[in-house]
């Protein structure tokens, strides 16, 4: 029997849907049949473009503006998505605040605080607001976007890594706490993916990086979207607490 990911009848909510990865993930989930709530904070025009594309393909989507570091804002987003599409069965927590990378000795304290809010607190608050409905349904899929950097710990990555490693701990604990309700909690960790800017500038190939990747090239946003769609589906119903690198083998969690 051929495997086909079918998310028909499911409602997904993607935070950071106006970003490059968020856009492709949202389109892929819609292609699999899910209705998709498209969260944005400042990128309304980009989110509108994603919504339009989904609807042109015959899918269902709605726009959701929120600050994912504030519980009241997330609660308002829950009311909006439930009104438009229904209670989410699938959460994809992908929004993040990025800062310029520099050394521990030079990085501003406010950057660490911001990474904590956008990585750790986002996942805590999204769980507090949306998981109770999943518990009532005895079903749910939570997928958060982490990064290969969380395993690499390279110089100048400390603020970013601190936030991502913090969310890793929260999500692993959450997976243990809510698994009995039929809810899985997993992470997808992209490598240095090829961006639209790379395509425009002709910088898809990065020899210094590519030569260290076992597959010898960088990945595409669609590679991340495929992993997310799999973890959102029932094909992954016995997988929880996983940190899944999608980086061509650049990092490999070991037993």
The mean pLDDT value for 167-192 works out to 98
Which of the following is catalytic: 99, 160, 209, 243? 160
The mean pLDDT value for 166-179 works out to 98
Please state the length of the chain: 255
Percent with pLDDT over 70 in the chain: 99
Determine the Cα–Cα distance for residues 206 and 117; give it in Å rounded to an integer.
31
Q: What pLDDT shows up at residue 3? A: 82
Q: Enter the tokens of residue 68.
A: 């994912």
Q: Tens digit of pLDDT for each residue in 201-217?
A: 999 999 999 999 999 99
The mean pLDDT value for 131-142 works out to 98
pLDDT at 78 over 70: yes
The mean pLDDT value for 127-145 works out to 98
- From residue 166, give the alpha-carbon distance in Å to each of 113, 213, 221: 12, 26, 24
Which class is domain 11-246? Answer: alpha beta
- Binned at pLDDT 50, 70 and 90, residue 219 comes out as very high
Q: Tens digit of pLDDT for each residue in 86-116?
A: 999 999 999 998 889 999 999 999 999 999 9
Q: Enter the tokens of residue 41.
A: 């904070």
Please provide the distance, in angstroms rounded to a whole number, between the alpha carbons at the two ends of the chain: 32
Q: What pLDDT shows up at residue 97? A: 87
Backbone angles phi, psi at 165, to 5 degrees: -70, -30
- From residue 38, give the alpha-carbon distance in Å to each of 15, 84, 123, 138, 195: 7, 11, 17, 24, 20
Q: What pLDDT shows up at residue 1? A: 52
Determine the Cα–Cα distance for residues 83 and 234; give it in Å rounded to an integer.
25
Determine the Cα–Cα distance for residues 132 and 127; give it in Å rounded to an integer.
8
Q: What pLDDT shows up at residue 166? A: 98
- From residue 71, give the alpha-carbon distance in Å to each of 2, 67, 113, 123, 210: 42, 8, 17, 11, 40
> Which DSSP letter does residue 249 get?
T
Determine the Cα–Cα distance for residues 197 and 202; give it in Å rounded to an integer.
8
Q: Give yes or no: 160 in active site.
A: yes
Determine the Cα–Cα distance for residues 45 and 22; give it in Å rounded to an integer.
14
Q: Enter the tokens of residue 102.
A: 């520099």
pLDDT at 223 over 80: yes
Can you give the three-state secondary structure of 53-90, one letter per residue? HHHHCCCCEEEEECCCCCHHHHHHHHHHHHHHCCCCCE
């Amino acid at each position: 029997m051929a495997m086909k990911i079918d998310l028909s009848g499911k409602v997904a909510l993607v935070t950071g849907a106006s970003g490059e990865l968020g856009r492709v993930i949202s389109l892929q989930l819609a292609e699999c049949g899910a209705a998709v709530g498209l969260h944005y904070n400042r990128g309304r025009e980009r989110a509108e473009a994603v919504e339009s594309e989904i609807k042109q393909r015959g899918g269902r989507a709605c726009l959701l503006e929120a600050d994912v570091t504030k519980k009241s804002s997330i609660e308002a987003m829950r009311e909006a998505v439930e009104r438009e599409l229904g209670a989410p069965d699938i959460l994809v927590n992908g929004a993040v605040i990025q800062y310029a990378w520099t050394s521990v000795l030079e990085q501003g304290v406010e950057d660490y605080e911001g990474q904590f809010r956008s990585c750790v607190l986002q996942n805590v608050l999204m769980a507090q607001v949306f998981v109770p409905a999943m518990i009532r349904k005895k079903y749910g899929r939570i997928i958060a976007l982490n990064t290969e950097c969380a395993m690499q710990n390279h110089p100048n990555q400390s603020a970013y890594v601190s936030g991502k490693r913090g969310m890793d701990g929260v999500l692993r604990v959450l997976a243990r706490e809510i698994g009995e309700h039929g809810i899985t909690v997993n992470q997808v960790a992209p490598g240095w993916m090829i961006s639209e800017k790379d395509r425009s500038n002709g910088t898809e190939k990065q020899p210094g990086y590519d030569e260290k990747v076992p597959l010898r090239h960088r990945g595409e946003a669609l590679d991340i979207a495929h992993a997310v769609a799999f973890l959102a589906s029932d094909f992954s119903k016995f997988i929880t607490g996983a940190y899944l690198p999608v980086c061509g083998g650049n990092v490999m969690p070991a037993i």
